[in-house]
Amino acid sequence: MEEKITMKSKLPELSIFFPFWNEEKNIEAVTLKALEITPKVADKWEILLIDDGSSDKTLQIAQKLENEHKNVRTISHIPNRGYGAALKSGFEHSKYRYIVFTDGDLQFDFSQVERFVEKIEDADIVIGYREKRRDPFKRNIFATLLKIWDFVFFHFFYKDIDCGFKMFKKDNLDKIMPLRSEGAMITTEILAKAKAKNLKIKEVGVTHLPRKYGEQSGGNPSVIIRAMLETFILFWDIRYKRF
């Protein structure tokens, strides 16, 4: 019988992972914050640092943190493969019953993981939405277009499809495997396949902070073209039940 989860009792076990790409100025702060917060929400836990082929010192700092903290593990891609590939590595290497990830750019407050813990008992997936999005105007336009795009192709609508703060029950995550997207359409793939499998999804508001260090890649033309191609592949997979 699965344990009842409340904030009076912590999760029995939790895998946390962060995708990083050239985040040498953010990775240590992200990891130390998680090390501070996680024991408050889980009895048994691990933190995975996913370096997606960074060209700066991100990997070296990740390896240093791994050496200093027994619950921290580093996974590295060489060369860079994309945001979706980083998430897939996180999912594949997570060993515990509950899994949560946030982006590694310090734009989310990891202490708000408690909001996800409170909802995960009655859901298969809990997805965050940014209560006030702190992104450049162009990225906000792309986010609106993504909502329309996904509604047309996959007939779902959520407040913030690509919010980089999500929690899963591992058993139900396994039902939507394998994930194919290597780029930005990974979050659409997760939600579209979850809908196809009738998984229960809940939304929770989170604080979004301005990016202080590093560069965003979501608006790059190559990222957009790759996302369009991945959409067509995903549409084909779902239509013909190829997963």
Look at residue 241 in the predicted model and tell me its pLDDT: 72
Q: Is residue 115 part of a domain?
A: yes
Q: Is 140 part of a structural domain of the chain?
A: yes
Burial 49-72 (b: 16+ CB within 10 A, else e): bbbbbbeeebbebbebbbeeeeeb
CA-CA distance, 189 to 153, in Å (whole number)?
11
What predicted TM-score, i.e. pTM, was given to this entire model? 0.89
- Return the pLDDT at 239: 80
Quick check: 215 pLDDT over 80?
no
Say which range, 6-20, 30-44, 48-62, 171-185, has the weakest mean pLDDT: 6-20
Please check whether residue 96 is in contact with residue 65, taking contact to mean a CB–CB distance below 8 angstroms: no
- Going by C-alpha positions, the residue among 139, 152, 138, 159 that lies closest to residue 204 is 159
Residue 235 resides in a domain: yes
Question: Token pair of 10, please?
Answer: 């912590």
When pLDDT is averaged across residues 19-28 and rounded to a whole number, the result is 97
Let me know if residue 135 belongs to a domain. yes
96 in a domain, yes or no?
yes
Interior angle at CA 208, CA 58 and CA 43, nearest 5: 70
Residue 2 belongs to a domain: no
Please state the domain count of the chain: 1
Mean pLDDT of the region 90-97: 98
Residue 15: domain span: 11-239
Q: Does residue 243 register a pLDDT over 70?
A: no
Mean pLDDT across the chain: 90
CB atoms within 10 A of CB 111: 14
Report the alpha-carbon distance of residue 206 to residue 197 in Å, rounded.
26
Instruction: Render pLDDT for 126-179 as a digit per residue (tens, 0 to 9).
Output: 999 999 988 776 777 877 888 888 888 988 999 999 999 999 999 999 999 999
Q: Does residue 193 form part of some domain?
A: yes
Report if residue 97 sits inside a domain: yes
How many residues in the chain? 243
Confidence of residue 45 (pLDDT cuts 50, 70, 90): very high
In single-letter form, the type of residue at position 194 comes to A
**Predicted pLDDT at 6:** 47
| CA gap 30, 77 in Å, rounded | 19
The CATH number covering residue 159 comes to 3.90.550.10
Predicted pLDDT at 216: 62
